[in-house]
Amino acid sequence: MVTELLQTDNEISARESINRAVATLQAGDVVALPTETVYGLGADALDPVAVEKIFAAKERPHFDPLIVHLPHKNAYLDIATVPDGVKHTIVQLVETFWPGPLTILLPKKGIVPDLVTAGLPTVAVRMSEHPVFKRIAKSFGNPIAAPSANRFGCLSPTSAEAVLDQLEGKIPLIINGGACSRGLESTIVRVSPPENGPKPVIEIIRPGPITEDDLKKFGKVVFAERNTAVEENSPEAPGQLQSHYAPRTMLRLLEKPEDFSPEPGKKYGLLSYRGQEKDGYIQLHEWDEIRVLSPGSGRVAEAGIRFFSTIREMDDLFLDEIIAEPMPDRGVGKAMLDKLRKASS
Ligand code: TXA
Ligand code: MG
């Protein structure tokens, strides 16, 4: 299969590309699309034959459910139900964060194929704020199932080139919408009615760009240690999902500089948070390569935007191992630490 890469850098090319993307979705095929978080591999969420092509292209196991992207804010009501005890909170979250990088788990309606949710009773919904994605979703009209456009277990792509690297020859079309402005996958939450206080519980299933701080005025925020719904669904050992986000090169989060004992002759690269000696990592070793996520005083938001693209760049440097410095455990720092821990295990 030839993979076509279409541009959106001016209004004429954008219009042409958007029409082609919509026609591809209407024909029951898959297309890689830009979102504000990472690129997604989209197909008509209501057409199981089209959705199956996503699993095939990604070599994704069928126990891992997909996120469904909506054409407009209220479209969640077409594919999901909202339990009485959480209605108010769901409306607040939708009104505050959509379009944007927040995914909400809700009980699914029968119209959603079981393939999309891997047989789970819930469906993950969000609305992207990427201008090109929004136009495609609106013009297509149906919800679009779209997981990240990487091969299963590999790095999420934050550019069209990164998608091409992983999926060339496996999908017909990629729409280039530029580098992703957020750079990290959406925050996934589940909302439950108040337990023994006045506030509903907002459980963060996957940390991402919408942070604990952003969510806490809408409920009591707790972090799920792991995605148990999907793990229980898996026929394999739960550990399989832990190997997510891994580059080809070995990658290890070095929680404390003291724990580093390099093997002679091996080439090590340092993925530094802000490149400062006082953090104790730069001078630890004669690194073969160093990349810095947010040089200077260090900002987690900037590091988040550059996270996947920097790891992808380091993956091409023929290193034996990438050693990652921890970033602060706050804001989107939590999402990066989560991914680094999973890649390390
Ligand atoms: O930012 C994003 O969310 C990107 C862009 C493309 O929208 N998408 C994305 O999709 O990251 P994916 O498939 O790579 O990650 C979705 C995660 C999976 O780990 C899946 O297990 C979880 O969401 N998920 C989906 N539906 C679920 C459900 N019903 N219950 C629990 N977890 C679910
Ligand atoms: Mg993914």
| Whether residues 116 and 251 fall in one domain | no
Here the CATH number for the domain that contains residue 277 is: 3.40.50.11030
Q: Taking the model in full, what pTM does it have?
A: 0.96
From 105, 106, 126, 185, give the residue whose CB has the most ligand 1 atoms within 8 Å, as the site to mutate: 185
Residue 269 lies in a domain: yes
Residue 165 belongs to domain spanning: 4-176
Six token digits for residue 149 = 């456009």
Protein residues with C-beta less than 5 angstroms from the ion ligand 2: 148
Torsions phi, psi for 240 (to 5 deg): -60, -40
Residue 92 lies in a domain: yes
Strand stretches in the chain, DSSP E:
4-6, 31-33, 40-44, 67-69, 100-107, 122-127, 144-145, 173-175, 187-192, 201-206, 220-223, 250-253, 268-272, 289-292, 321-324
| Whether residues 63 and 150 fall in one domain | yes
From 38, 58, 67, give the residue whose CB has the most ligand 1 atoms within 8 Å, as the site to mutate: 67
Residue 71 lies in a domain: yes
Q: What is the pLDDT of residues 131-145, one digit of tens each?
A: 999 999 999 999 999
| Whether residues 148 and 53 fall in one domain | yes
Each residue's pLDDT tens digit in the chain (345 positions)?
999 999 999 999 999 999 999 999 999 999 999 999 999 999 999 999 999 999 999 999 999 999 999 999 999 999 999 999 999 999 999 999 999 999 999 999 999 999 999 999 999 999 999 999 999 999 999 999 999 999 999 999 999 999 999 999 999 999 999 999 999 999 999 999 998 888 999 999 999 999 999 999 999 999 998 888 888 877 665 445 555 668 999 999 999 999 999 999 999 999 999 999 999 999 999 999 999 999 999 999 999 999 999 999 999 999 999 999 999 999 999 999 999 998 887
Domain limit, last residue, from 118, 151, 176: 176
Count of H helices and E strands in the chain?
Answer: 11, 15
Ligand nearest to the CA of 155: 2
Nearest CA to ligand 1 atom 10: 147
Nearest CA to ligand 1 atom 3: 186
Six token digits for residue 154 = 């590999």
Residue 100 lies in a domain: yes
From 184, 188, 231, give the residue whose CB has the most ligand 1 atoms within 8 Å, as the site to mutate: 188
| Residue 185 alpha carbon, nearest atom of ligand 1 | 1
Q: Give CA–CA dist 331/212, Å, rounded.
A: 7
| Whether residues 10 and 106 fall in one domain | yes
Residue 128 lies in a domain: yes
Ligand nearest to the CA of 152: 2
Residue indicated by tokens 């989060």: 253
| Whether residues 163 and 35 fall in one domain | yes
Q: What is the pLDDT of residues 221-271, one digit of tens each?
A: 999 988 888 888 776 654 455 556 689 999 999 999 999 999 999 999 999
Domains held by the chain: number: 2
Q: Give CA–CA dist 295/79, Å, rounded.
A: 44
Q: How far is CA 239 from the centre of its chain?
A: 19
